[in-house]
Amino acid sequence: MNSLNIASIVVFVLFLYWVGFRNSKSKINLILKLLAVWIYFTFIFYTGRWDFLSYFLRYIFLFLLILATIKALMQFKRLVLFEKKKIWGWTTFAGQFLFSLLLFWGCIEVISGFSTAEKGIDIAFPLRDGLIGQGGNSELINYHHSDTTSQQYALDIVKLNAWGMRAHGFLPGDLNKYAIYGDTIFSPCDGKIVKTKDGQDNVPIGVADNLNPRGNYIVLEYENNLIVMGHMLKNSIMVSTGDVVKKGQPIARVGNSGRTTQPHLHIHAIAGTDTGKMIQGGNGIPIYFDGKFPVRNDRIKK
């Protein structure tokens, strides 16, 4: 994920140079160039994990692209409509067109992931504030969506620091450098605690515990559904099985236990109350936070 983001940004910087500083040979060439770059930027704007470098970088890049587009359009009037091309020119033209078409399909797929017609549950956001790292109705913005069972609509939530990053540094080994680490988790609804697990140590950054995928977790029953929240800090769980909790009640703190590569809060919901299907084999349902279906890069504050 990290290398993919860096590669995407490097490509975009090259595209900025291509638009702003490389002259077009015809009006058609300029239009196709702008189309390809804007579609590409739209794709990475919504699919990129901007919290790794800075959430604000996506808006800086948008501003730079607008400036590059204005500069490119200043030459539009003096360009011929269409330049006669040789074989290489036609090959480049076809490549740009196919690239734009492919990314356009990707953008349509991403936009389709912004909503779902499937019935879910509406609950409160379980943190004071956070950023959706994985979320949505498409694998392009939510890798959990490849699971067609319990975790199909699972969410991973991180938090941003003042620089718009989820941590001080690119991938620091110190857990305390992650903005979400140690944050209080609040019950997202009135409900009953039906299962908990504690005692799991944090795993080192980049090392996942595949034997205990959820790490320390809480399972909450709500309206005949189960809400699973995981990766909690050892000895931070404040509730026990059988407890009845109120919405907004503190229940635990965010850690880095289980199958996780960095501190975050994992949450998903399944229909029914069978705790044996809370990880796999159940019917995963969408989660709405105060009526909003959360997707990647959504910032949420109470």
Distance CA 277, CA 155 (A): 17
pLDDT above 80: residue 77: yes
Domain boundaries, the chain: 2-112, 121-301
Q: Class of the 121-301 domain? A: mainly beta
pLDDT for 91: 77
Q: How far apart are CA 165 and CA 55, in angstroms?
A: 6
Residue 82: per-residue pLDDT: 77
CA angle 7, 258, 297 (to 5 degrees): 40
155-177: average pLDDT: 95
Give this prediction's pTM: 0.92
Q: Measure the CA–CA gap between 54 and 166, rounded to whole angstroms.
A: 8
What gap in Å lies between CA 262 and CA 260, rounded to an integer? 6
Q: Which of 159, 184, 196, 195 is nearest to 254 (CA)?
A: 184
* Span 36-74, pLDDT tens digits: 999 999 999 999 999 999 999 999 999 999 999 999 999
